[in-house]
Structure 1
Amino acid sequence: MASIIRPKTFAHVVYRTYRFQEMLDWYVKVFGGKIQYQNPVIAFVTYDEEHHRVALLNLAIVKGESQARTPRGQPGMDHVAYGYRSLRELLDKYLELKAIGVLPYWCIHHGITVSLYYADPDGNQMEFQTDSYTSNEDANAFMYGPGFAENPIGVEFDPDEMLERLRRGESEASLLLRTQHLPVSEIRGSMQS
């Protein structure tokens, strides 16, 4: 039996809230955190060298706008994230799960990570991700840059197409960098309304 690919890290947790600023203030205060990025819809907080450990989604803005993607629309945990060592390993995990009939419901290149989102039988959501940058300093610089401010959610991608590009010899490094000319994710557009 082949060995199962396991995550390298537990990366972050995302919460949905109607008390966006109150929650943000609480996580900064309780964890001695630092706000990495904030707009009216989403905020990212870290308490160590990682680009983010906690993210908050403002339900006062996104509720009703993203019901198809997040039907629960209630305050609480949105998802937890697990980190993989490389893009190749993340895509190998995708193939491993696909072979047993487990498919992601959303594949998105966030810019700081390339991510596959899955849901368990109860609907609990999880993000399997690999970092796009080799250092946290570079990831943080991306989060402070104009590309992230323009599109903090990311662009959707097809994991099978990405695998094919790797097989044809395209480097992981080139696939990990999100270029600004890519289209904004559909969910991002709905959150701008």
Structure 2
Amino acid sequence: MTTAIRPTSFAHVVYRTYRFEQMLGWYVKVFCGKVQYQNPVIAFVTYDGEHHRVALLNLGILKGASDAATPRGHPGVDHVAYGFASLRELLGKYAELKEKGVMPYWCVHHGITVSLYYADPDGNQMEFQADSYTSNDEANAFMYGPHFEANPIGVEFDPELMRARLEAGESEAALLLRTEHLPVSEVRGSMLG
């Protein structure tokens, strides 16, 4: 009998808000935090060495940008994130859940993490992630670099293909790095979609 794969950490929470600047100021003040990255749509705040602990989505910008506003376009929790120890464990969890009939609705390489998004029966969303970098300093450097600025959301991927590449011997380190300038992926049901 195999051991169930479990998260190693609670990683972050994402809030949707119409009070983007107020919320950003509040989380910085309350947690003695630091803004890691901010654009008009999204901001990432940390209070420790982690690349982000709180993210904020600006619903005012999102609603104004499209007639098809987010299906969950009201203020509140967008999703919570759980960290796994490695890409191998993350993809193992994907396989474990697939066998039980539970599939992610969105698979995206954010650059700082490789992430699988799931929704529970009530529609609560969660992100299962593996960090792309071995240190928070490296992840933070990526967030300040040109690839993240060009695409802070990420690039969709097929977990079956990534798992096959890993099983064929490609290194986790190679699969974890997002170095190309690819267009922002369409988001399905979370974040900006």
Bin the TM-score by the shorter chain: over 0.9
Which residue is equivalent to 1:96?
Answer: 96
Structure 2 residues without counterparts, runs of 5 or longer: none
Q: Deviations over 1:31-86 (max 9, x none)?
A: 00000000000000000010000000000111376898941210000000000000
Structure 1 residues without counterparts, runs of 5 or longer: none
Q: Deviations over 1:119-160 (max 9, x none)?
A: 000000000000000000000000011110100000000000
Q: 1:95 to 1:68 in 2, by over 3 A?
A: farther
Aligned counterparts of 1:2 and 1:70: Cα–Cα separation in 2? 39
Structure 2: which amino acid aligns with 1:75? P
Which shifted more, 64-73 or 7-16? Answer: 64-73
Which residue is equivalent to 2:151?
Answer: 151
Q: 1:67 to 1:88 in 2, by over 3 A?
A: farther
CA contact (8 A) 2:151 2:181 kept: no
Which shifted more, 169-178 or 179-188? Answer: 179-188
Percent identical: 78
What is the total number of aligned residue pairs between the two structures?
Answer: 190
Secondary structure, counterpart of 1:116 in structure 2: strand
Aligned counterparts of 1:8 and 1:111: Cα–Cα separation in 2? 20
Q: 1:64 to 1:167 in 2, by over 3 A?
A: farther
CA contact (8 A) 1:64 1:73 kept: no
Matched, 1:178 2:185: no
Matched, 1:167 2:167: yes
Give the root-mean-square deviation of aligned CA atoms.
2.0
Q: 1:70 to 1:127 in 2, by over 3 A?
A: farther
Structure 2: which amino acid aligns with 1:184? V
Aligned counterparts of 1:83 and 1:18: Cα–Cα separation in 2? 28
TM-score, normalised relative to structure 1: 0.93
> Equivalent residues in 2 for 1:1-193 (5 A)?
1-63=1-63, 70-187=70-187
Aligned counterparts of 2:51 and 2:64: Cα–Cα separation in 1? 29
Q: 1:125 to 1:67 in 2, by over 3 A?
A: farther
Structure 2: which amino acid aligns with 1:18? Y
